[in-house]
A and B are shown apart, each in its own frame.
Chain A
Amino acid sequence: MTVRRKAKIGFYALTSCYGCQLQFAMIDELVQALENIGIECWFMLDRNSDENAEVDIAFIEGSISTEEEVELVKKIREKAKIVVAVGSCAVHGGVQSWSNDKDLEELWKTVYGDGKVKFKPRMAEPVENYIKVDYKLYGCPPEKKDFLYALGTFLVGSWPEDIDYPVCVECRLKGNPCVLIEKGEPCLGPLTVAGCDARCPSYGIACIGCRGAVKEVAWFDSLAREFKKKGLKKEEILQRMRIFNAHNPKLEEMINKVFEEGE
């Protein structure tokens, strides 16, 4: 798909922390990019935002967490040529999906007690569950370079590549000591999409998987086997991998398999 020279863009928020938009707003090059893009809808920065405007590129941040948001994403899909799901909430349902093994009523009661509000809440879901998503920016939040790469590539009429290798690749290149093997901590680097330059392991901190599992080849099972050897229980492994992968259909099945293998 070729995008016109001055591309119309929209940045829309569902339920989230607004960190993806904040990251986008903090890109210094954004001011220069304005020569090539026109902002039709971006409530966080612009009072003259129109949710109904036709756009070339729609960036959507946040999970679908209310009935109203289901309608909103359908509308965005109709008005947009390219839909980009931005960040772990839009792509994977976000950390708010961490406990989607509990039911909504139970969560509601824990936080709001018997209080009632007039809007309709839902369990958090990724945008893709309701509309076709053309491209995804991973991360909580995505890196600035993720935005620039995708936007720049769209603007020249090309298509950005997906990232299909894990954080470990970048971590090894940086020459970091291995958090998993040398420090023995439950690092999720081996199954998490790269692109962050191994931010956390570079600080000696175990990856929590904020960019989500590498699709198609999510090695939940082989990493779980490694964690199991280190003495982690099934529930501990599952909960850690669920933080950013709660909607991954393979997760539970693969972990179960590892624990059915016996000692």
Chain B
Amino acid sequence: MYIPITVDHIARVEGKGGIEIVASDEGVKEVKLNIIEGPRFFEAITLGKKLDEALAIYPRICSFCSAAHKLTAIEAAEKAVGFTPREEIQTIRDLVYIGDMIESHALHLYLLVLPDYLGYSNPLAMVDKYKKEIEYAMKLKNIGAKIMDVIGSRAIHQENAVLGGFGKLPTKAQFEELKKELKEALPVAEYTVELFSKFEQYAEVEDREMVHMAVKPRNGVYGIFGDYIKVSDGFEFPVEDYKKWIVERVVEHSFAKHSFYREKPFMVGAISRVVNNADLLYGKARELYGKYKELLRYDNCFANNFAQALELVYFVERAIDEIDEILAKWPIKPRDEVEIKDGRGVSITEAPRGLVAYTIEVKDGRVAYADIITPTAMNLAIMERHVRMMAEKHYQDDPERLKYLTEMTVRAYDPCISCSVHIVRL
């Protein structure tokens, strides 16, 4: 007899998804990640709309990575109309994006992942025994949020980032204050690396066939923006070709599509960035990479948690350097006029949880076509494979343990389920 074991609503992830495992004494028959978050049709609702208004709406796809969506959509739109932002504007955008990276990683690691390892159902319950960890979580997410708030206008859904730059820039003193707080956050980020170095990366999901995709950073240092995608099998392709290499299929148990590279699932995210671009790390993160290299495994999705911890250190340091670059060019004109011409643009960047791809076509000032693939949509197929591997090792255990371990596997991917739902034309 087959016994279905289900987690109707996976807790401590962004969005609404469930795990369905059908197993019997003979083994696991079926494993599905049900994505039950309703569809929002972002590509369809923005069709025919004015470009600036559509750009204000795309980030609403996801709150955990709203800056990622906003800045990727803007880059695609600027490429479409043939506009290139000034270098200093690009640096400020990168800084806002880093704010998102820091906030998102801090929330994921401390509030969503840590309770599993410390034996709690929720992070708020940890406050009596793990006060320091909660304070550290707050400190890191607060500096990330503050960067987005001060420069982008708010921590969730930044309206101040627009075509051509920013409506208004913060003062020099505000940048200096951000820098001071980032410096204070650096030891906290380093503590996060030490903390997460102690946690188990479950051997059940070891997968030698894992393939990772990441942006090849544009300016030669580990980062977010780029014009090529690197694959861990050695292949590289220009971002414009993503529809050729990332192939999507509709599956009936999910409002989000699944993605494949050369017919196989692949992974994106912090560990995928480290696997592809570790040689471009610098500073403290580079030292820590040397020290903990064996934990940054390409063949285990749980390494993604540790890779995020390492990135916290990297991006805090990188943000400090970017503020120095910005201040060296002060005063900076916030915005250039953008002439809205017809055209098509593609941008792929590194959202906190992996690649996010945008194609925007502009005609007569309106969106004529939009295509978006989010990191979680890219990860769903491989996530399902690893949940299955976990289930195959534990289907005879207590169902509660099976649920706990499979949920942890999902959480390691830091999925954004609302983000993944709506995805893309055929």
Interface, chain A (partner B; CB < 8 A): 13-20, 22-23, 25-26, 28, 30-31, 34, 39, 42-49, 51, 62-66, 68-69, 94-96, 98-99, 102, 106-108, 110-119, 121-122, 124, 140-141, 199-200, 202-205, 208, 210, 236, 239-240, 243
Check B60–A18 contact: CB distance below 8 A. no
Q: How many A-B residue pairs have CB under 8 A?
A: 206
Return chain A residues, CB-CB under 8 Å to B36.
66, 68, 119
**CA of A51 to CA of B64, assembled, Å:** 23
Contacts of B43 in A (CB 8 A): 110-111
A-B contact pairs, 18 of them (CB 8 A): A15-B37, A17-B62, A18-B14, A18-B15, A45-B123, A46-B121, A48-B121, A65-B39, A95-B60, A96-B45, A107-B44, A112-B257, A112-B426, A115-B426, A119-B38, A121-B39, A240-B50, A243-B57
**Of residues 120 to 140 in B, which have CB atoms within 8 Å of A's CB atoms?**
121-124, 127, 134, 138
A23 nearest CB neighbor, chain B only: B156
A23–B41 Cα distance when bound, in Å, is 24
Interface of B is mostly: loop
Of listed A23, A64, A98, A113, residue having the most chain B CB within 10 A: A98
Identify which of residues 25-51 in chain B touch chain A, using a CB-to-CB cut-off of 8 Å: 36-47, 49-50
Measured in the bound complex, the distance between the Cα atoms of B36 and A22 in whole Å is 19
The answer to whether B39 touches A108, judged by C-beta atoms less than 8 angstroms apart, is: yes
Find out whether the CB atom of B154 lies under 8 angstroms from the CB atom of A199. yes
B38–A69 touching, CB < 8 Å: yes
Q: Which of B220-228, B315-323, B417-425 is the interface stretch?
A: B417-425
What residue in chain A is nearest B142 (Cβ atoms)?
A28
- Asked if B70 is at the interface of the complex by the 8 Å CB criterion, the answer is no
CB <8 Å contact, B121 and A28:
no
Give the complex CA separation of A205 and B249 in angstroms. 39
Chain A residues in 8 Å Cβ range of B41:
96, 99, 107-108, 110-111
Is A99 a contact of B44 with CB atoms below 8 Å?
yes
Contact indicator B418/A31 (Cβ below 8 Å): no
| B60 CB to nearest chain A CB (Å) | 5
A255 to B407, CA, bound (A): 50
Interface positions of B (Cβ within 8 A of A): 9-16, 36-47, 49-50, 53, 56-57, 60-64, 66, 107, 111-112, 115, 121-124, 127, 134, 138, 141-142, 145, 153-157, 159-160, 162, 166-168, 249-255, 257, 407, 418-419, 422-426
- Give the residues in chain B near A68, CB-CB below 8 Å: 36
Residues B11 and A141 in contact, CB atoms below 8 Å apart: no
Complex-state Cα separation, A34 to B104, whole angstroms: 23
Chain A residues positioned under 8 Å from B134 (CB to CB)? 31
Q: Choose among A26, A46, A95 the residue that contacts B12 (Cβ–Cβ < 8 A).
A: A46
- CB of A242 to closest CB in B, whole Å: 10
> What is the distance, in angstroms, from A137's C-beta to the closest C-beta of chain B?
14
Known: A17-B61, A46-B12, A110-B41. A115 touches B257 (CB 8 A): yes
Task: Provide the bound-state CA to CA distance between A44 and B62, in Å.
Answer: 14
Closest 6 CB pairs of A and B: A115-B250, A65-B38, A19-B63, A15-B38, A113-B426, A46-B122
For B257, what are the chain A residues with a Cβ–Cβ distance below 8 Å?
112, 115
Return the chain A residue nearest B371 by Cβ.
A111
- Whether the pair B122, A47 counts as a contact (CB closer than 8 A) is yes
Q: A17-B419, A199-B153 are known contacts; what are 13 more A-B pairs with Cβ within 8 Å?
A: A15-B38, A22-B63, A26-B145, A45-B12, A46-B11, A47-B115, A49-B9, A62-B38, A65-B40, A95-B40, A111-B39, A115-B426, A117-B255
Q: Is the CB of B159 within 8 A of A49?
A: no
> Within the complex, which residue of B10, B16, B53 is in contact with A13, where a contact is CB–CB below 8 Å?
B16
Complex contact B53–A141 (CB within 8 A) = no
Residues of A within 8 A of B37 (CB): 15
Could you tell me the distance in whole angstroms from the C-beta of B410 to the nearest C-beta in chain A? 12
Q: Give which listed residue, A30, A204, A243, contacts B167 with CB less than 8 A.
A: A204
Contact A122 B38 (CB under 8 A): yes
Q: CA A115 – CA B252 in complex, angstroms?
A: 8
For residue B253, which residues in chain A have a CB less than 8 angstroms away from its CB? 117-118
- Chain B residue, CB-CB nearest to A45: B122
**B64–A121 CB distance below 8 A:** no
Cα A114 to Cα B425 in complex, Å, equals: 10
Would you give the shortest CB distance from B186 to chain A, in whole angstroms? 20
Residues from chain A with a CB closer than 8 A to the CB of B38 are 14-15, 62-66, 69, 119, 121-122, 124
B57 touches A95 (CB 8 A): yes
CB A8 to nearest CB in B, in angstroms, measures: 14
Q: Which residue of B lies closest to A67 (CB)?
A: B38
Complex contacts, B47 vs chain A, CB 8 Å: 99, 110
Chain A CB within 10 Å — which of B40, B63, B419 has the most?
B40
Say whether A19 contacts B45, CB under 8 Å.
no
| Chain B neighbourhood of A106, CB < 8 A | 44
Cα(A39)–Cα(B120), bound, Å = 14
Contact B254 A19 (CB under 8 A): no
| Chain A residues with CB below 8 A from B14, complex form | 18, 22, 44
A69 to B37, CA, bound (A): 9
Q: Shortest distance in angstroms between B71's beta carbon and chain A's nearest beta carbon?
A: 15
Decide if B156 touches A107 in the complex (CB within 8 Å). Answer: no
Residues from chain A with a CB closer than 8 A to the CB of B44 are 99, 102, 106-107, 110-111
With A99-B45, A124-B40, A141-B157 already in contact, the answer to whether A19 and B12 are too (CB < 8 A) is no
Distance, CA A30 to CA B121, complexed state (A):
17
Min C-beta distance of A260 to chain B, whole Å:
24
| Contact of B66 (CB < 8 Å), options: A16, A17, A20, A240 | A17
B372, closest chain A residue (CB): A111
CB-nearest residue of chain A to B111: A45
Residues of B within 8 A of A243 (CB): 53, 56-57
- Chain B residues whose C-beta falls within 8 Å of the C-beta of A65 in the assembled complex: 38-40
On whether A140 and B250 interact (CB within 8 A), knowing A18-B15, A203-B159, the answer reads no
Within the complex, what minimum Cβ distance (angstroms) separates A148 from chain B? 16
A117 to B34, CA, bound (A): 10
